[in-house]
Amino acid sequence: MSRTTQTAFVTLTSALSLCVALWQPAYGQTAATERHQVNATTVAEGLNFPWGLAFLPNGDALITEKSGSLRRVSPNGAISAPIKGVPDVVYKSQGGLLDVAIDPNFADTPWVYLSYAEADPAGGDGNSTAVARGKLNGNALTDVTVIFRGAPKYKSGAHFGSRLVFSPQGHLFITLGDRYSAMDDAQTLDNHHGKVVRIWPDGSIPKDNPFVRDDGALDAIWSYGHRNVQGAAIHPETGALWTVEHGPKGGDEINIPEAGKNYGWPIATYGVDYDGSVISDQTHAEGTVQPHYYWVPSIATSNMIFYTGDMFPAWQGDALIAALKGAKVARLDLDGERVMHEESLFAELIQQRIRDIAQGPDGAIYLITDDRNGRFIRITNAAE
């Protein structure tokens, strides 16, 4: 390389570095909220479209990458090689490796649960959301078994759901999507599209599920009439399941799904299709349950938690809903189940779509961002 070329190269590299620096999100900075000053710090980066997040008892985090890898991330940010034994996934559009959860009795039964887009085992061109579990042994899953397969297998790359959450009684709730072009299936009980299902952790069906005695219904169904449920959490006081449903253009919803109830989609909605066309002219329909809370316009909800830690005492009991649109978290101030106030958090700090949110063992709030260079971010109280 000549001296002139080398000088030009250095100049260009410096300019590019400056451009990159100007575009980098402002991590490690402090921001004000209505009740707390907060810091955002990047724990790890370079994750490939991370989707789900769960903490192990030792403080490590398990993080899924949509492309099919499950990784362990230590509190100091070290990222493991992909954990072996993860099932094959259909990595297409919205499909891939999705949520991760650990068994409530992990110390005694170290099961890890994964939801993912699964190809048709019979060789057809359809796919569906499936859930498998395996025992975490070092950097591998062993005794991996599929405990749930959504039915039918359907040719689509959209609306898989899906979150995994355990009830206080030990049931496993799995939230699902309507597969987009099969939206009308959300209103019928012979399929899993647009449903919340409830099973035992080994895949067996609870005898008190609402449709087990209905020959025309699938036994795992808990509630129906949902669109694309990508968030779920158990209320810390009531023990009830709350879900966050990704709506169309407008009409993201929070629901408190009860056994056998119909939540309206697509015959009743507060949204319109992405091209502005009308999906339904009804926001209420007989026999359906209204959303507990909804957004118009949409914020593109992902997951939710109820904050119960000590690090942010003024947020205790609040619902925190992560959002893809606006790169923010919506804080809902609750009085019992009633939403009293909404505040937008962290947007000036994150600047990437937020795919998941979790409360860490230390009481901090953790986020993962939906990006090819996805980040694992810790939110702490700046006053501590």
pLDDT digits (tens, 9 = 90+) for 225-262: 999 999 999 999 999 999 999 999 999 999 999 999 99
Digit-coded pLDDT (tens) for 82-108? 999 999 999 999 999 999 999 999 999
What count of other Cβ atoms lies within 10 Å of the Cβ of residue 77?
13
**pLDDT at residue 9 tops 60:** no
- Which residue, among 368, 329, 320, 322, has the nearest Cα to 64 in the 3D structure? 368
Q: Which secondary structure element, helix H or strand E, spans residue 172, and what is its range?
A: strand 172-175
Query: Whole-angstrom Cα distance, residue 177 to residue 191?
Result: 11
175-201 in b/e burial notation, b at 16+ Cβ within 10 A?
bbbbbbebbebbbebebbbbbbbbbeb
| 3-state SS, residue 171 | coil
To the nearest whole number, what is the mean pLDDT of the chain? Answer: 92
159 counts as catalytic: yes
Question: Which domains can be identified in the chain, with CATH numbers?
Answer: 27-381 (2.120.10.30)
Digit-coded pLDDT (tens) for 18-64? 333 323 333 468 999 999 999 999 999 999 999 999 999 999 999 99
Model pLDDT, residue 351: 87
Model pLDDT, residue 340: 97
* Those residues with Cβ within 8 angstroms of residue 275's Cβ, 6 or more apart along the chain or in another chain: none
Burial class (CB in 10 A: 0-12, 13-18, 19+), 285: middle
**pLDDT at residue 283 tops 90:** yes
Over residues 341-346, mean pLDDT: 97
Half-sphere exposure of 219 (CA within 13 A, CB side): 12
Residue of 159, 171, 192, 226 with catalytic role: 159
* Those residues with Cβ within 8 angstroms of residue 160's Cβ, 6 or more apart along the chain or in another chain: 94, 95, 98, 115, 117, 128, 129, 176, 177, 179
Model pLDDT, residue 28: 60
What percentage of the chain exceeds 90 in pLDDT?
A: 91
3-state DSSP: the chain helix, strand, coil percent, rounded to 5? 10, 40, 50
Using CA of residue 78, residue 56, residue 85, residue 52, what is the dihedral sign?
negative
